[in-house]
Amino acid sequence: MTKKISAIFILLFAFAFSFDGALAADKIYLSSGIRDPFTTADKNGFIDQIVREVFSRIGIEAEVIVYQDSAKSLANANSGIDDGAALRIKGIEKKLTNLVMVPEKLMDNDFVAYSLGMGAMITDWQSLKKYKTQYIEGWQIFKNNTQDHPQVSAVKTPQEMFDNLSQLKTEVILYERWQGLWRAREMGVKLKSHEPPLVSVEMFIYLNNKHKNKAIPAAMALIEMKKDGTYERIYNKTLGILK
């Protein structure tokens, strides 16, 4: 462990014990708008397992619940209907002021271009302009960066996008890395991931203000999981198998 990491860990440790009151709760529910392979029906997706282990280490039972509507997931976390939200970008607490970020990164989400292995050279947003490209409606990160691209269109579902790629109705699709690899495996489609990612975004856990005393202990638990190999083991058996 570097001196910098050690200092951060010690600081977090000190903060954790500055809070009054017990951390115990019957059970907390963190909402998400994202599915396989991050959350799964059997509750053994990557985020399912990471969240469960993080809070177990501080004596709390935790479960991720999934909404079809990602905006509803955040609204319910902010209002306190749910206890928090998982796999969210940094800074949402500026608008959703009842949310507190767990100050340790959950993971990086990579947003990539996929094709069927054609000899395309896609390294950035501009290089997409020459290809017929699709993404899913509502994914603002893709919409905002391709508005001047003449051959870009949006579709309603991931399945429609993958069907269009398989049927050569589009040349390139834009998606989050792990969801893309999972769906390709399910469909038996061999994808080429064009590297580097078009953008990579840090993702975090958020808690409703009523659980703010759990944010620092949860961060400490996540740091410890990364140190002792637990995080890597969960990654390898959920996301790593998709590579």
Residues in a beta bridge with 134: 153, 173
Is the N-terminal amide bond of 197 cis, ω within 30° of 0? no
Q: Are 139 and 118 in contact (CB under 8 A)?
A: no
At 232 the three-state DSSP class reads helix
Alpha helices in 80-214 (DSSP H): 140-145, 158-166, 177-187
d(Cα 52, Cα 193) in Å, to the nearest integer? 30
Reported confidence tier of residue 12, pLDDT bands at 50, 70, 90: low
**In the chain, where are the structural domains located?**
3-108+202-242, 109-200
d(Cα 51, Cα 30) in Å, to the nearest integer? 8
The answer to whether 3-108+202-242 and 109-200 have equal CATH topology is: yes
CATH topology of domain 109-200: D-Maltodextrin-Binding Protein; domain 2 (3.40.190)
* Structure confidence by residue, pLDDT tens digits, 123-142: 999 999 999 999 999 999 99
* Structure confidence by residue, pLDDT tens digits, 93-115: 999 999 999 999 999 999 999 99
C-alpha distances out from residue 227 to 9, 79, 160, 188, 209, Å: 11, 34, 40, 35, 28
What superfamily does domain 3-108+202-242 belong to in CATH?
Answer: Periplasmic binding protein-like II (3.40.190.10)
